[in-house]
Amino acid sequence: MSELPRGATVRRDAGLYGYERALRRAGIEPVAGVDEAGRGACAGPLVAGACILPGGRAGVVPGLADSKLLTERARERAYDQVVRRATAWSVVVVSQEECDRLGMHVANVEALRRAVALLDVRPAYVLTDGFPVDGIGVPGLAMWKGDRVAACISAASVLAKVTRDRIMCDLDGDWPAYDFKTHKGYITDEHTAALTRHGPSPVHRMRFVNVRRAAGLEPVPPVQNGRDHHEEETP
């Protein structure tokens, strides 16, 4: 769907909880939000979260926002509050091997589907961040920057991000040469240097061009405008 169902309207100043309130006024509940973390990383798993928050004050999570806008400590506090307050929540971890096998977009959609399916409470409506997710069995709305405008998506983003960050810190203990605890598997100059020096680890995603270059499977292109373009995933 590209718009809210009939009877549900949201004022511009409705705030982070406006979409859920509008849907409840239209008689549509419970409402779940889903989001992922790690799609753009070239190492480690993809993690998806799903969350249903209760209505009223019980569902207002102190400090909740898009997980990317929060500090690590603030995310951890928000995570604890989401887990405590949620009517239902779930987290799905998709390994780097499955990401390589499916491709990132397909893996992303599959992870979001699984997260919704794992909720203990079946939602009547699902809000997704960025693009629609079919195959979830209920109507929904894809929202541009949904993790910044809908509380349930923000809560799902926190669940996914905190879970994935913890996994990457654990992987840092197994593969300390790559400093996963700092960059969480995303592409940074330090990560690129470690890849060049040591080659890919078993937890790197081989579909990413920079990883394939480090493994000697792709040619190194000339530098353009001071840097090369190594972030893209191969088809």
pLDDT (tens digit per residue) in 123-172? 999 999 988 899 999 999 998 888 888 999 999 999 999 999 999 999 99
- What percentage of the chain carries pLDDT values higher than 90? 72
Whether residues 110 and 45 fall in one domain: yes
Q: Which two tokens stand for residue 168?
A: 């990457």
Residues 110 and 209 in one domain: no
Residues 120 and 210 in one domain: no
| Domain-embedded: residue 197 | yes
| Residue 233 forms part of a structural domain | no
Q: 140-143 and 46-52 as β-strands: parallel, antiparallel, unpaired?
A: unpaired
Distance CA 143, CA 146 (A): 5
Domain annotation covers residue 193: yes
Rounded-to-integer distance, Cα 147 and Cα 131, Å: 12
Locus of tokens 């197994």: 174
Q: Are residues 37 and 121 in the same domain?
A: yes
Task: Give the Cα separation of 72 and 218 in Å (integer).
Answer: 35
User: Does residue 4 form part of some domain?
Assistant: no
- Residue 9 placed within a domain: no
**Other C-beta atoms lying within 10 Å of the C-beta of residue 235:** 5
pLDDT at 208 over 90: yes
- Asked whether residue 137 falls in the same domain as residue 86, the answer is yes
Written as six digits, the tokens of 64 are 């909740």
Q: Is the pLDDT of residue 3 over 80?
A: no
What is the rounded radius of gyration, in angstroms, for the C-alpha atoms of the chain? 19
Q: Is 102 in the same domain as 209?
A: no
Q: Based on the domain organization, do 68 and 183 belong to the same domain?
A: no
30 prior amide bond cis, ω within 30? yes
Binding residues for a divalent metal cation: 35-36, 129
Nearest to 192 by CA among 207, 175, 179: 179
Instruction: Calculate mean pLDDT across residues 16-39.
Output: 92
179 lies in some domain: yes
| 194 & 163 share domain | no
- Residue 156: inside a domain: yes
Return the CATH number at 99.
3.30.420.10
- Helices 72-85, 151-174: axis angle to 10 degrees equals 120
Mean pLDDT rounded to a whole number for the chain: 89
Stretch among 26-30, 31-35, 145-149 having the lowest mean pLDDT: 145-149
79 and 161 in one domain? yes
Residue 57 CB partners (closer than 8 Å, separation 6+): none
Point out the annotated binding site.
Answer: 35-36, 129
Helices 18-25 and 151-174, interaxial angle, to 10°?
130
Say whether both 60 and 144 belong to one domain. yes
- Are both 164 and 67 inside the same structural domain? yes
Q: Answer whether 157's CB lies under 8 Å from 67's CB.
A: yes
Residue range of the domain that includes 203 = 175-214
Write down the H helix ranges in the chain.
18-25, 72-85, 96-102, 104-117, 146-149, 151-174, 180-183, 189-198, 209-214
The one-letter amino acid at 164: R
Residue 78 counted as domain residue: yes
In the chain, % helix, strand, coil (3-state, to 5) comes to: 45, 15, 40
Do 102 and 29 lie in a common domain? Answer: yes
The per-residue pLDDT for range 112-131, each reduced to its tens digit, is 999 999 999 999 999 999 88
Pairwise CA distance, residues 75 & 67, whole Å: 6
Domain count, the chain: 2
pLDDT digits (tens, 9 = 90+) for 98-113: 999 999 999 999 999 9
In this prediction the pTM is: 0.89
**Rounded to an integer, what distance in angstroms lies between the CA atom of residue 229 and that of residue 211?**
12
